[in-house]
Structure 1
């Protein structure tokens, strides 16, 4: 009887050990998967930030070249037309969780078609209105800050514009260096008002009161710049899709092709041939 009991105990111990070892392997695999996901996420963040830093550096260099070529205190005539500017801010990008797809920021200037008294844009004498669109992590509901019509500047310099009610009346400061390059200063309170939920939490946690303003650098959206931004967005989308496919748990219904072939992520069994 004792031998039977000891045999049962040994079997139970062996089963418990197998279960414990299996659980250890499961936890180890989970830890390795989480570490891999974190590393890939950090690599994605770094690539997005590098792109943002590159664009800011390019615009800063162009502005410095303009300033060097212009005598101090000289008024430089400019002819700003309705159009779009791509906006870049390393600080804002860092706070907006760029591990997600970063859709970017923009300034749009539209011609005010009110009374028609200031619509001779050939002379640069028109009254524009505009809005600032900030990427707060949602492409379907971008956060827009609109400001009222204003007199277009005829010379390079700063323009201070009050925002509409949605922006809480906070002032937007735009510096026109010429028709192509601009700088913006947005107060943190304005950015917080435009953000909701997790976006506001992310911004508030990373924000420091000693630097209340967010500085954006802008470049006029030309066909070449628009193409470059599309390519950058496409890169982010492809990498985000690849990360998702690598890290998701395979479904029991997934085929060998879906799980192993390099084109498996694009396979749709709905259109597979029936045998």
Structure 2
């Protein structure tokens, strides 16, 4: 390699890092300037790591089995890092693929729940259009609704942790710091609630009178800070639709690019019954249990089995 030619910028950055921090190069140290992990590598292409602004002779794809184009005093270390960088690229590609697959799985699951609520909405819409009376709405106090939204998956999915989103309602008795009461709320009792999208994103609702009738009517519930006012439609005792502003969805991301997300996000809520979930879990656990050694086909059916012997 000619004296005037330089090695890729990533190499000098890593060398400076090892000197400054007095440590070896770690896999994630390569990530800062790896930008082509989404592109499937073409074996026929020469992998050039040079800065486009620099006069650089591209190296071979690998230092293994090919003549090296650089033979400076640090050539061994350069090609060692180059191979490690390629390994990191492949690792990131695999991680990216797994992330996409997991996001698609979550998206499909959320889409199923959205359709469930949409079907309930359509049913209420048809009943209202025909003038049919709708059932009264049970008190929403004490209820938890899991929230599902394809918009939210598309714009706020986090592969590290994508928590369950929910809204819950409860009533507050004056003087009770636990936000609970021994007596169930009456239909006239004002209640509170909270919206949870992640640990840093959500809001608490100010006191409001709960709706008494299921339907498509929209209720605007202001938060205690006076910043947001999510809109709710209580479709049935088990379903609701919530619309919130983009600013609330991104309240934990200061300066988020507004042009990359819709003005409002729609969430579809399905009532979550913890007791029912526990019951189903227990039933599933029982079904998975292995049969007792005595409770086999032989014991139950064979003439010499324990059941036949009267044990």
TM over 0.5: yes
Does residue 219 of the first structure (1) align with residue 279 of the second (2)? no
TM-score, length-scaled by structure 1 = 0.61
Q: Which of the pair has more CA radius of gyration?
A: 2
Matches within 5 A, 1:182-201: 182-192=240-250, 194-196=251-253, 201=256
Does residue 175 of the first structure (1) align with residue 229 of the second (2)? no
1:217 deviates by 0.6
Q: Secondary structure in 1 aligned to 2:102?
A: helix
Question: Matched residues in 1 for 2:81 and 2:249: separation?
Answer: 47
Does the 8 A contact of 1:48 with 1:102 survive in 2?
Answer: no
Q: Which residue of 2 aligns with 1:154?
A: 212
Question: Matched residues in 1 for 2:83 and 2:207: separation?
Answer: 64
Structure with more strand by fraction: 1
Counterpart selection for 2:155 from 73, 95, 99 = 95
Q: How many residue pairs end up in the alignment?
A: 202
- Deviations along 1:212-271, one digit per CA (max 9) or x if unpaired, are 21111101112377569x9xxxxxxxxxxxxxxxxxxxxxxxxxxxxxxxxxxxxxxxxx
Question: Matched residues in 2 for 1:84 and 1:205: separation?
Answer: 32
TM-score, length-scaled by structure 2 = 0.54
Does the 8 A contact of 2:127 with 2:133 survive in 1?
Answer: no
Counterpart selection for 1:207 from 255, 258, 261 = 261
1:89 deviates by 1.2
1:205 deviates by 6.3
Q: Which residue of 2 aligns with 1:79?
A: 138
Counterpart selection for 1:59 from 89, 108, 117 = 117
Q: Which residue of 2 aligns with 1:25?
A: 83
Question: Matched residues in 2 for 1:204 and 1:89: separation?
Answer: 18
Structure 2 unaligned blocks of 5 or more: 1-69, 176-181, 282-311
- Deviations along 1:48-87, one digit per CA (max 9) or x if unpaired, are 2222222212222233234345554555221223111111
- Coordinate RMSD, CA, aligned: 3.5
Structure with more helix by fraction: 1
Question: Matched residues in 1 for 2:246 and 2:201: separation?
Answer: 14
User: Which stretches of structure 1, 4 residues or longer, exceed 6 Å deviation after superposition?
Assistant: 12-20
Q: Which residue of 1 aligns with 2:196?
A: 133
Matches within 5 A, 1:11-50: 22=80, 24-50=82-108
Question: Matched residues in 1 for 2:223 and 2:83: separation?
Answer: 57
Q: Secondary structure in 2 aligned to 1:48?
A: helix
CA distance 1:36–1:125, change in 2 (3 Å): same
CA distance 1:224–1:44, change in 2 (3 Å): farther
Question: Matched residues in 2 for 1:120 and 1:74: separation?
Answer: 34
Question: Matched residues in 2 for 1:227 and 1:29: separation?
Answer: 45
Does the 8 A contact of 1:81 with 1:124 survive in 2?
Answer: no
1:190 deviates by 2.9
Q: Secondary structure in 1 aligned to 2:110?
A: helix
CA distance 1:191–1:31, change in 2 (3 Å): closer
Structure 1 unaligned blocks of 5 or more: 1-11, 136-140, 231-275
Does the 8 A contact of 2:201 with 2:248 survive in 1?
Answer: no
